Amino acid sequence: MERAYRLNLNMQPNGDHEVHADDCRYYPTLTYDSLGRFSTCASAVAEAKRKHPTKAINGCVHCARECHTG
């Protein structure tokens, strides 16, 4: 099942920008980049890194736990 993913353009306190799935309660609604629809968070994170090579990208611990690096 594909889900829509967004990158939060607001940096977290640790310097990361988090990727969120569309059903996440932390899904950004104001400052974000739409990444597209993907079947895995790994694909969404890869797209975020491709589009934003200078940003530290991480998966959300709540909706993309398998892509969250801590």
Q: What contacts 69, CB < 8 A, 6 or more positions away?
A: 58, 59
Total count of domains within the chain: 1
pLDDT at residue number 63: 95
List beta partners, residue 55. none
What tens-digit pLDDT sequence spans the chain (70 residues)?
899 999 999 999 999 999 999 999 999 889 999 999 999 999 999 999 999 999 999 999 999 999 998 7
CB atoms under 10 Å from CB of 30, counted, come to 7
Predicted local distance difference test score (pLDDT) of residue 28? 87
Q: Give the pLDDT score at 52.
A: 98
HSE of 6, CA atoms in CB hemisphere, 13 A: 16
pLDDT the model gives residue 44: 98
The parent domain of residue 35 ranges over: 3-67
